[in-house]
Structure 1
């Protein structure tokens, strides 16, 4: 793809002086689909261990590593990637408008989303779980959450799912963000935090949190993380090929260990492409 990119760049340089006025300020995606020099990737900016923009402007996490590997297989070096924040509520819109080429942002595959976008993968099978203090021996089963203060983020369905299905006497506590829940957990204002185990492991693996918390390992749901692309995009098959290579050459295992290892995250094996665990 590099010769093609060079040719495109040369052509673009000649055409630029003729078309500058008409080009405007388009900062949308589409680089991977039209042979551009850049590729735009949607990620989370606020999830340690998965997708985090650090104060010095760097990007770290498992989703970042997966997206970087995929982009390279598509012909783009790390410096060719333009990262764009993809908040949960905005992901389908970003893809449909062409603002990004693909999204890797703890994007669980489900039937409703699949009506609007296509998914490559899955590349990670996560589960809803709980995080408790490392010295807590009172929460050993999901049912032990009864009469416990259970924290989740405002607007999340995770805590309500636990209360509805598993521990009806759990006392729900809604905080503005996961960091606030972690502070509450550390200070014993709450007894447990619930969301996807990958997200919990990402927070617990941060240097300032290491050794303070542990995962329950309850597997309360199946969350199949996929890479979202525009409906009908030929990128889906190309990304699937890249994901298969990432697993086969060991890069996937390395990324899991690097981003989740300090939390003793017992991850599932790399899922097979197209295998959605219900």
Structure 2
């Protein structure tokens, strides 16, 4: 992903600092401090133990450098890169104690976010040739939404709203409490600013027809079959953005994309994607300078 923009360090540092403090506890790294001489230096590599897509290197760099600014990291495969099993993603060198102390925090972020990027890339590849975009949802790990959504972008996907304050998404429970689609949309429109878009979730074609009478910006077509989605796209006829959602996998995504929907939203990309297995291997250990 050559157009992937990195997140500012000011957004990342609090996450990494919190993770390091959680690990260091009240007494620091007892194991490393007892075993590794203070002045030892090491050369290590971050190696891919399986193929995938990289994301999270900036957080890994911060993990090492917040422990010791003398740790240096040279990146061979930037975020968004596809890697093969055995590839050296980056090399890390510097004080051995700092590398060992930060190792797990760095890998936790790197493996988790690379897993999200890899899962996203698999679905993006599955629908290649169709016009639909793969988007994530708000089903993210508390505190990690910004970086998990970044990882989706690293995998070639796009982001849905970042929070409740991004846009208005009228879901089934909103409709039930409001007393129907019409009052829900009317109240939303009355309370929304001129730049705020309105999306309505529908489960049936009858609900879609009702919703389209009030000119929403987008419609969320929830758990519809491919045939229903095809009919829904024809009914909307370009008057709103169409978004398909509901237990979509790389196997089912191509048929859904073929219906002509604009977006395919997938929650498991962020809440259930398996990690990408990446390890930190020592290539050389130096004695005190």
TM normalised by structure 1 equals: 0.28
Larger Rg over CA atoms = 2
